[in-house]
Amino acid sequence: MDDHWSVAAHRHFKAAGVRQVAYVPDGGLTKLIERCREDNAIETVMCATEEEGIGLAAGAWLGGQKAAVLMQSSGVGNTVNAIASLVTSAQFPFFAIVTMRGQWGEGNPWQVPMGQAVAPVLEAIGVKVFQADTAEDVGAMVEAGLRMAYSGDQAVAVLVSQRVIGSKVWVADKKEGAQ
Amino acid sequence: MTDFVLHRREILATALADRGDALVVTGLGSSTWDLASLGDRPENFYLWGAMGNSAMIGLGLAIAQPERRVVVVTGDGEMLMGLTSFTTIGARRPSNLAICVLDNERYTETGRQPTATGLGTDLAAVAKACGFPKTATIRTEAEAGQLGDLLLRTPGPVMAVAKVVDEQLPMAVPPRDGGYLKTRFRIGLLGEKAATLP
């Protein structure tokens, strides 16, 4: 049986009644995105930039549906005004999963500044941040986070540590797209 | 300066006169005042901030409510900030979504500075290139007569850009408490029980 954290995350999406999932692809999100795309009860919306996912989630809630937004840590920087001015201003429930770069074992210096800023930036704009350092944490935090978002009327982000995802190793002659 | 003839509130009033149960989302600034000037109602969700997000709110709503018509009314500046959403909406193609851009080629609220729509960007052409099945740029009274059909009845996603006079209009101010607007909208659409219980 597949014990990847995405299995538990998807199961909790189903249990909580998540109907729309917005995403910008990230290597760390590949399995969860695939799982959601294969699920006919979930509408997946591929976004060109992470900010779009915030608007989509708010629109879904206005229409009576729960949403989740999936993004890489760099994408958090693209969402700041939408979260602050829409989610926080109008007190929308909100749930996101952020796969982290720029922390544990990062080999690309360009990922570090935004990765390090994710938690303080989200907290500064009113988002409750859960940091998952193990695969087991992710499932439990997705379950708790969805409840806090959609029963507790909060904005919640689960940050999936690079320790869980694994850091990319940069080799000069490695083919692009190889894992 | 261009010689536009259409007045934003007049064409919007005519287009939405028979809106029925359509749900309407507005972009911040002039578009919010325009819709409020037609009368406040629970099926209106007005943005007072979050510039660039109106079209995606419309998409999330259109997916959640496939039997209802969803109309986004916004300005050229707000739409330019959300331009990437054209690609997302064009890829998903919800037939019940229409976007109306009231395009005066100005950032009206901040001092009427020119926008890119007066300097080369054709929003209807961009939408068409992103896969919107129906796009139109409206300049004349005769063309404005089709706006209601475009926004309320034409299979979407629709992008209707109306070139409008750059004019100073009295502010018509709707409620500005976002939590209130959100909950009122949900109660109107879903009923009080479904809207307020987990």
**Distance in angstroms (rounded) separating the CA atoms of residues A1 and A8:** 12
**Distance in angstroms (rounded) separating the CA atoms of residues A16 and A143:** 8
- The predicted pLDDT at position A170 comes to 62
- Confidence band for A22, pLDDT divided at 50, 70 and 90: very high
- Shortest CB distance from B60 goes to which of A51, A59, A89? A59
Residues B1-50 pLDDT 10s: 568 999 999 999 999 999 999 999 999 999 999 999 999 999 999 999 99
β-partners of residue A68 are: A21
CB contact under 8 A, A86 and B195: no
Domains of chain A: 5-149 (3.40.50.970)
Cα–Cα distance list, B153 to A4, B58, B71, B108, B164 (Å)? 46, 16, 11, 30, 22
The fraction of chain A above a pLDDT of 90, given in percent, is 87
The fraction of chain B above a pLDDT of 90, given in percent, is 95
With beta carbons less than 8 A apart as the criterion, state whether B114 and B105 touch: yes
Encoded tokens for B51: 């510039």
pTM for this predicted structure: 0.96
**Distance in angstroms (rounded) separating the CA atoms of residues A45 and B117:** 28
Q: How many CA atoms lie within 13 A of B77 on its CB side?
A: 19
ipTM above 0.85, yes or no: yes
- Confidence band for A175, pLDDT divided at 50, 70 and 90: low
**Distance in angstroms (rounded) separating the CA atoms of residues A34 and A137:** 21
- Confidence band for A178, pLDDT divided at 50, 70 and 90: very low
Domain edges within chain B = 8-196
| Domain B8-196, CATH | 3.40.50.970
CB < 8 Å from A in window 166-195 of B: 178-179, 181-182, 185-186, 189-190, 194-195
- Shortest CB distance from B64 goes to which of A63, A89, A92? A63
Within 10 angstroms of residue A106's Cβ, the number of other Cβ atoms is: 17
**Distance in angstroms (rounded) separating the CA atoms of residues B1 and A63:** 41
Between vectors from CA B33 to CA B28 and to CA B38, what angle results, nearest 5°?
Answer: 135
pLDDT, average across residues A160-167: 88
Q: Residue A33 above 60 pLDDT? A: yes
The dihedral formed by the CA atoms of A50, A52, A55 and A57, expressed in degrees to the nearest 10: -60
- The predicted pLDDT at position A50 comes to 98
Q: Residue B143 above 60 pLDDT? A: yes
Task: Give contacts of A146 with chain B, Cβ < 8 Å.
Answer: none
**pLDDT averaged over every residue in chain A:** 94
pLDDT, average across residues B47-64: 98
Closest by CA to B66, choosing from A63, A92, A14, is A63
**What is the greatest pairwise CA distance in chain A?**
50
**Distance in angstroms (rounded) separating the CA atoms of residues A99 and A77:** 13
Q: How many residues does chain B have?
A: 198
Residues B69-97 pLDDT 10s: 999 999 999 999 999 999 999 999 999 99
The fraction of chain A above a pLDDT of 70, given in percent, is 93
Buried b or exposed e, range B5-34, using 16+ CB within 10 angstroms:
ebbbbebbeebbeebeebbbbbbbbbbbbb
**Distance in angstroms (rounded) separating the CA atoms of residues B21 and A72:** 38
E strand residue ranges, A6-134: 18-23, 43-46, 66-72, 94-99, 128-132
Task: Give contacts of A52 with chain B, Cβ < 8 Å.
Answer: 56, 82, 84-85, 88
Q: Which run of H or of E encompasses B179?
A: helix B178-190
Closest by CA to A167, choosing from A105, A75, A95, A78, is A105
